[in-house]
Amino acid sequence: MEGKVILITGGAVRVGAATARRLHAGGARIMIHYRSSADAAERLRDELNKLRPDSAATVQGDLLDPACYARMVDETVACFGRLDALINNASSFYPTAVGEITEKDWFDLVGTNLKAPLFLSQAAAHALTHSHGCIVNIADIHAERPMKSYVVYSIAKAGLVALTKSLAHELGPNVRVNAVAPGPIMWPEDDPSFDELERRRIIAHTLLKREGSPDDIARAVAFLVNDAPYITGVILPVDGGRSASL
């Protein structure tokens, strides 16, 4: 992965930050996208640059704003000279039960989970074609097995799965496009739906009987970026076997 340039959306916190650290440890240069987590993004940038000078930078962007897509790609190429991989990780996640769904919910959840990956991938396509690069989308096992009360989120992730396969057709043979579909990795913050009882129930339905870690996702992303030259159009579950038992 030495010298590769990777743009990660939502790269400042949680799974995005773990992915940034994992890819950086492999030798990549990282552009950390953030929307509002400026402090976390700057801390991570500084942490990575201490390990290897001039190997990380940040770019701010509201992924619901169409003007940010080309700008983020342009800033990455201007900073590092190329783009080898795009990781579409940023995501809104919250329940939307039928009867309570608003248009704002639709625009937010579909916007971050489906629209942004499409238009950012489109903006990055030229640079990725030039470098024979790749795209990795962070999907969800619930794209195929929707969660109760998460109607719009599940729809958006199902669209992201279809987008992954469509882009693999459209951008091949020069650009590979795959997705990682996490299971129970990090519990949502400030969501009472996932209390201790519900967490135990979910873990009980995994074949490995434990939750995963952000680095489990980061390892899968690193594999698809660097060690999978003949893999494209694939959705890789990283869920401890939960999807096999649902």
Catalytic residues: 153
| Residue at token pair 């991989």 | 85
SS3 63: coil
Return d(Cα 122, Cα 97) in angstroms, integer. 32
E-strand ranges in the chain read: 5-8, 29-34, 56-60, 85-88, 134-138, 176-182, 235-238
| Residue at token pair 């290897």 | 52
CA angle 21/168/7 to nearest 5° reads: 25
Return d(Cα 43, Cα 32) in angstroms, integer. 11
Q: What is the DSSP letter of 59?
A: E
